[in-house]
Amino acid sequence: MTRNRATRNRATGNRATPGTSRGGGSATLHIDWTRCDGRGLCTELLPDLLVRDDWGYPLAAGRPAGEQTNVPLGREDLPAAGDAVALCPRLALSLRRR
Amino acid sequence: MSTAPDTRPVEPVSAAPAGTHRLFAAGPAADHGTHLRTYGPVPESPDPSGLVRILKESGLTGRGGAAFPAWRKLEATASARGGVFAPAPVVIANGAEGEPLSFKDRVLLHNAPHLVLDGLLAVARALNASRIHLHTTAGNIAPVERAIAQRRDARGIRISEAEESFLSGEASAVVNALHTGSAVPVDRVRRLSEDGLKGRPTLVQNVETLAHIGLIARFGAQWFRSAGTPHDPGTRLVSVSGDVPAERVLEIAGGARLDDVLREAGADPASLSAVLVGGFHGRWVAPAGRRLSAADPSMQAVPPGAGILHALGAHRCGLAETARITSYLAGQSARQCGPCMFGLPALASAMARLASGEDDPTLPAELERLGLSVAGRGSCHHPDGTARLVGSALEAFAADVAHHLDGYCNRKARP
């Protein structure tokens, strides 16, 4: 059940990336975990947003559980997020406008 | 409700069940005749907005674990149905009950199958559904088939056999099982109510939720709310197991006190160190002062999930028990999502080390870190639920954690 409200914890998201404004809230990056293989390209394109976990999978650092699968993006993230969607070798990413 | 004297003739045969004895009021293994004598017929089917309104007034929430308001799912499916090219909706009664500690759906389907069918058919009529499924494990199929054969209005229901696995009851896994035969959850960007079985608007509702709908369609929202609390109206079934005299299913009011329920099940709450509420994806809590409520904001409330209470006697080690469950849950991963496939075995391994009394003071912090790193990172809530279980064990058994790190366990029996 996708009951995650990406807007709910925007404050936490702001805290996670000091110095960057992520208040745009125009889109989310959806991670299809059933496809993701932890290749890591998205974490290189979005280093302020995604880090790699113990096993190499993308982790939205400092974000709550409800923002891990649909990661809220700021406007400044959109170009790199678009690249990540286009270049993900596993086609595991999609952009969702809100 | 009016307090003026009611001069309407009294219905002589059936009556709304009083108290919390509702779902089994027709007695054990009730056939269709007994069922109708007890509850009477379901009135003419309301339109979708009528059923949505009455369910909204009733406050009924899903009894399959997530406690999502029943009316919202129905409304979402009904509105997805609109439009010229929209395919007709599908309704699925979910009796997969994959949780090992849950048996209330089995008891319900064996004893009150007609209430489940009433609710399923009421929802299907309201949605003008094109297909109606009842999905349940092998052992429940015979009583459901017997019940369907006893009535004329249920012939269109298709019964399918659910796999016996922990995740088989997850809503997207149910739809996937009906579509592809594979009972594993799928990634979703759209809700099942918009895009479910073969792209159709799909309503998946737990069988107990449907049984309550079968009663609400007869006796109304106010009757439903006459048991329970404003935050958690109505009744729910709970499967009580563990250190109790006998495993059993009870029907309890919303917001019931946990220690009262344990006493009703024949257990002395003082003899228990904790109760696992909500099953393997639930929480360990000390019973004193707690209430079972799906939506109560107070600190004393603990969500009952799919209605599972597993009692742990004070002589048993909760850390060892949690390690055993975590290991089972790691094995039940569908192995589709990396954080679950790798994170759950890591959690299980750290939990086993803590349970065995390994002298490593970093273990509790490592368990918390692993829990945070898997939560929310899967196509279903399996990693979240497992992390929640482990987190609640560290809290509820904090004294045991300290003892284990000192190299001993003061529980007499260790499973």
Q: Can you tell me the mean pLDDT for B33-49?
A: 87
Q: Is residue B14 part of a domain?
A: no
The pLDDT value given to residue B82? 63
Residues of B in contact with A64 (CB under 8 A): 376
Q: Which of B186, B188, B339 sits opposite A53 (nearest CB)?
A: B339
Same domain, B193 and B53: yes
Q: Domain with B333 in it: what CATH number? A: 1.20.1440.230
The pLDDT value given to residue B189? 82
Contacts for B246 with CB less than 8 Å, ≥ 6 apart: B266
Q: Is residue B127 part of a domain?
A: yes
Nearest CA in chain B to A95: B189
- Per-position DSSP letters for B284-319, written without gaps between them: EE--TT-EE-SS--STTEE--TTTEEEEEETTB-HH
Residues of B in contact with A31 (CB under 8 A): 377
Q: Could you tell me how many residues make up chain A?
A: 98
Same domain, B39 and B109: yes
pLDDT digit string, tens, across residues B369-396: 999 999 999 999 999 999 999 999 999 9
Q: Is residue B187 part of a domain?
A: yes
Tell me how far apart the alpha carbons of residues B347 and B327 are, in angstroms, rounded to a whole number: 8
The pLDDT value given to residue B15? 82
Domain that holds residue B289: 235-313
Q: Which of A38, A59, A67 sits opposite B373 (nearest CB)?
A: A59
Same domain, B189 and B141: yes
Looking at the DSSP assignment, which residues form a beta bridge with residue A50? Answer: A60
Residue B373, H or E segment? helix B363-374
Same domain, B239 and B206: no
Same domain, B151 and B266: no
* CA distance, residue A51 to nearest chain B CA (Å): 11
Q: Which of A32, A37, A57 sits opposite B339 (nearest CB)?
A: A57
Point out the domain boundary residue: B282, B313, B344.
B313
Q: How confident is the model at residue B46 (pLDDT cuts 50, 70, 90)?
A: low
Same domain, B73 and B185: yes
The pLDDT value given to residue A49? 96
Q: Is residue B20 part of a domain?
A: no
Same domain, B144 and B267: no
Q: How many CB pairs under 8 A join A and B?
A: 68
The pLDDT value given to residue B84? 64
The pLDDT value given to residue B81? 66
Nearest CA in chain A to B388: A65
The pLDDT value given to residue B9? 43
Whether A34 sits inside 8 A of B336 (CB atoms) is yes
- 3-class DSSP state for residue B82? coil
Q: Is residue B18 part of a domain?
A: no
Q: Is residue B412 part of a domain?
A: no
pLDDT digit string, tens, across residues B54-63: 999 999 999 9
Same domain, B44 and B173: yes
Whether A1 sits inside 8 A of B381 (CB atoms) is yes
The pLDDT value given to residue B347? 98
pLDDT digit string, tens, across residues B223-237: 999 999 999 999 999
Residues of B in contact with A68 (CB under 8 A): 375-377
Same domain, B305 and B396: no
Q: Is residue B8 part of a domain?
A: no
Same domain, B79 and B212: yes
Point out the domain boundary residue: B313, B347, B366.
B313
Range scoring the smallest mean pLDDT among A47-56, B194-203, B313-322: B194-203
Point out the domain boundary residue: B225, B245, B268.
B225
Q: Which of A1, A4, A31 sits opposite B66 (nearest CB)?
A: A1
Q: Which of B188, B336, B339 sits opposite A2 (nearest CB)?
A: B188
Q: Domain with B246 in it: what CATH number? A: 3.10.20.600
Question: pLDDT at residue B296 above 90?
Answer: no
The pLDDT value given to residue B278? 96
pLDDT in tens, chain A (98 residues): 333 433 333 333 333 343 344 445 579 999 999 999 999 999 999 999 999 999 999 999 899 999 999 999 999 999 999 999 999 999 999 999 87
* CA distance, residue B290 to nearest chain A CA (Å): 26
Give the percent of chain B with pLDDT over 70. Answer: 95
Same domain, B302 and B343: no
pLDDT digit string, tens, across residues B136-166: 999 999 999 999 999 999 999 999 999 999 9
Contact B374, B387 (CB under 8 A): yes
Q: Is residue B12 part of a domain?
A: no
pLDDT digit string, tens, across residues B343-371: 999 999 999 999 999 999 999 999 999 99
Q: How far is CA B34 from CA B117, B147, B220, in A?
A: 15, 12, 21
The pLDDT value given to residue B298? 84
Whether A65 sits inside 8 A of B378 (CB atoms) is no
Please count the structural domains in chain B: 3
Give this complex's ipTM: 0.84
Q: Can you tell me the mean pLDDT for B101-116?
A: 98
Region for residue B16 given its phi and psi (left: phi exceeds 0; alpha: psi -120 to 50; beta: otherwise): beta
Same domain, B39 and B168: yes
Chosen for mutation from B187, B206, B344, B349 (greatest number of chain A CBs closer than 10 Å) is: B187
Query: pTM score, two decimals?
Result: 0.89
